[in-house]
Amino acid sequence: MIRLVAVDMDGTFLSSTKDYNRERFAKIYKEMKERDIKFVVASGNQYYQLKSFFPEIAEEISFVAENGALVISEEEEMFCGRMSDDLVQDVIAFIKEHPEVFMILCGRKSAYTSEKEPEELIALGRSYYHRLEVVEEITNSIEDVFFKVATNVPVDETTHFLEFFNERFSGRLEAVSSGHGDIDLIIPGLHKANGLRILQEKWGVRSDEMVAFGDGGNDLEMLRHVKYSYAMENGSKESKEAASHIAPNNDEEGVLEILEQLLEIK
């Protein structure tokens, strides 16, 4: 019996136009709600951006945001990770040595980037971070609780920077890729699967009662954690190896199609 459904957003639940079939999903969600099946949005994106996709139901669903660093369920904060001040300072100093790397410092109250960054990257950042403050310079003197550093690197150097970051911050941070040159530096262990475990404890849900959908490197732990895991047809090789099933392309509304099959909705 399925009791929880977790979905990644970009490249998975959302189409290439950054939207989803709201009418079709509304019917699925109505059926899920009647059966008391929990719906969880599990993404590397900011909580404030994620909830904007679900204005009618945001207060009754759950969010594993920032790749698991922030868990909010039915508007109640269940978990918030924290990087030490020394670690934040080290990361900022290190990235500043590499001007080709775009950086967003992610905090509980807001995300932050520097006015010195390229305007087109700042504009792109705003599409993922609805709360994004552009400051004169990124420093650890900004008053907030920081739990993630989001970076964007040249696409053809993604693998290099993944290895580079993981070697430099071994044991302190973990670099995960969500594609298109985007690399998040997260606190080790604070991934999407950990966020799901927190929600499982709240509801008493077992991993063999869960379905998850993903497409990228930041979905691997989540896909391995649940019994019914689906990598998108458009997903990475690693996500397909981690999942037990393949779902149709995100532009073919693959998540909604599989959910209709699982819930036997015609």
pLDDT-derived band at 140 (thresholds 50, 70, 90) equals confident
Helix (H) or strand (E) holding 117: none
Least reliable range by pLDDT among 59-73, 128-142, 212-226: 128-142
Using pLDDT thresholds of 50, 70 and 90, give the confidence band for residue 48: very high
The answer, yes or no, to whether residue 147 has pLDDT greater than 80, is yes
Q: Give the chain's mean pLDDT.
A: 95
pTM: predicted TM-score of the whole model, two decimal places: 0.91
What domains lie within the chain, and their CATH numbers?
Answer: 4-80+190-263 (3.40.50.1000), 85-186 (3.30.1240.10)
Percent of the chain whose pLDDT exceeds 90: 92
Give the pLDDT of residue 265: 85
**Mean predicted confidence (pLDDT) in 7-15:** 97
pLDDT given at position 180 = 82
What pLDDT is stored for residue 139 in this prediction? Answer: 84
Average pLDDT estimate for 107-135: 93
154, 181 contact by CB (below 8 A): yes
Distances (CA, A) of 30 to 18, 111, 127, 242: 22, 33, 28, 30
Catalytic residue numbers?
8
- The pLDDT score that the predictor gives to residue 83 is 95
Return d(Cα 176, Cα 197) in angstroms, integer. 20
d(CA 43, CA 143): 25
Would you say residue 232 has pLDDT above 90? yes
CA-based nearest residue to 78, from 190, 181, 179, 178: 190
Q: What is the pLDDT of residues 63-118, one digit of tens each?
A: 999 999 999 999 999 999 999 999 999 999 999 999 999 999 999 999 999 999 99
Q: What is the pLDDT of residues 150-190, one digit of tens each?
A: 999 999 999 999 999 999 999 999 998 877 889 999 999 99
In the numeric block, the tokens 């993903």 are attached to 214
Q: Give the length of the chain.
A: 266
Per-residue model confidence (pLDDT) at position 178: 77
